[in-house]
Amino acid sequence: MARVALVTGGSRGIGAAISTALHQAGYSVAANYAGNDEAAAKFKDQTGIPVYKWSVADFESCEAGIKQVEADLGAIDILVNNAGITRDGMFHKMSLDQWKAVIDTNLNGLFNMTRPLWEGMRERNFGRIINISSINGQKGQMGQANYSAAKAGDIGFTKALAQEGARKGITVNAICPGYIGTEMVRAVPEEVLNKSILPYIPVNRLGEPEEIARCVVFLASDDSGFITGSTLSANGGQYMI
Ligand code: CAA
């Protein structure tokens, strides 16, 4: 039986590439999404991957959504916490709403999604949790105090949980993408992108969603069983730790 993978924010951007790559690698995939029905329907038509709508920012919705996916596809073996949003702004202009929205989705979302799955993975002695953090959680980014804080939190969460899961066959890893050519990055003002970001990427281009998806496929596989608590940077050399 194919292993079951759930990808949050899995119908657009990096998430769509991850869902597709896992599907092509033989997993039974469910793609969660929060808002864009049209994009989700199109994604489902094009890939055959079932889509499920709920917000990762809401714990009860996550519990209910996960229950539904497990009823449809079976117990979830692989969770990719990919869903993320930006509400960029210099801190002196940042509202409480901008702060809370990003923390609720990008950090609390990891608790909301992982907690309901954790006990089942422990019982089955197998699990793969892959958290999509960001280069900006590693280095900090002006205009992103909220996002950088959440993404740095994702790395701490990964390292703590990896220690708890290790003896139960559950690996927990983070991937830190750099600037990838998705809608999120294309929303950055062109002048900022050209002047302040692109010149600092040594490989001299934005990354492609598929380049992140291939990292996920590796971390989801049995081949990666000795890798846990790690942070895999995929950023074109922009930031090295
Ligand atoms: N890196 C370096 N410098 C930056 C910067 C960045 N990412 N963003 C802004 N700046 C600089 C600008 O170039 C500008 O410098 P100058 O005064 O020398 O021209 C200065 O900061 C002020 O910027 P703005 O004039 O744009 O100020 P604003 O108040 O109008 O807008 C902002 C502020 C909303 C933060 C806007 O600059 C912005 O959107 N910046 C991009 C922030 C960013 O990098 N977001 C990443 C989004 S992609 C992502 O998050 C995915 C991921 O994981 C990598």
For the stretch 35-78, pLDDT in tens is: 999 999 999 999 999 999 999 999 999 999 999 999 999 999 99
Ligand 1 atom with least separation from CA of 185: 48
Q: Which residue owns the Cα nearest ligand 1 atom 31?
A: 89
Q: Is the pLDDT of residue 235 over 90?
A: yes
- Burial classification of residue 226, based on how many CB atoms lie within 10 Å of its CB (0-12 exposed, 13-18 middle, 19 or more buried): exposed
- Which residues, 6+ apart, have CB-to-CB distance to 156 below 8 Å? none
Q: Distance (Å, rounded) from C-alpha 45 to C-alpha 36? A: 14
Distances (CA, A) of 40 to 57, 71, 177, 203: 18, 20, 23, 32
**Cα 24 to ligand 1 centroid, rounded to whole Å:** 36
Q: Is 147 annotated as catalytic?
A: yes
How confident is the model over 30-38, as a mean pLDDT?
96
Could you give all domains of the chain from N- to C-terminal order, each with its CATH number?
A: 4-227 (3.40.50.720)
Q: How far apart, in whole angstroms, are the C-alpha atoms of residue 112 and residue 45?
A: 28
pLDDT at 126: 98
How much distance in Å is there from the Cα of 133 to the middle of ligand 1?
19
Q: Whose CA is nearest to atom 54 of ligand 1?
A: 179
Average pLDDT over residues 130-158: 98
Query: What distance in angstroms lies between residue 159's CA and the mean position of ligand 1's atoms?
Result: 29
pLDDT of residue 1: 85
What ligand 1 atom has the least distance to the C-alpha of 179? 54
Q: Is the dihedral of CA 93, 139, 17, 128 positive or negative?
A: negative
Tell me which residue of 146, 119, 126, 131 sits closest to 8, measured CA to CA.
131
H, E, C per residue of 52-73: EECCCCCHHHHHHHHHHHHHHH
Ligand 1 pocket test, pick from 102, 196, 201 with the greatest ligand atom count within 8 Å of Cβ, gives: 196
Task: Quote the CA–CA distance of 88 and 72 in Å, as a whole number.
Answer: 37
Decide if pLDDT at 24 tops 90: yes
Percent of residues, the chain, with pLDDT higher than 70: 100
Atom of ligand 1 nearest to the CA of 188: 39
Among 102, 106, 192, 231, residue to substitute to test ligand 1 (most atoms within 8 Å of Cβ): 192
Pocket of ligand 1 (CB under 6 A): 86, 88-90, 134-136, 141-144, 147, 177, 179, 184-185, 188-189, 192, 195-197
Give the pLDDT score at 83: 98
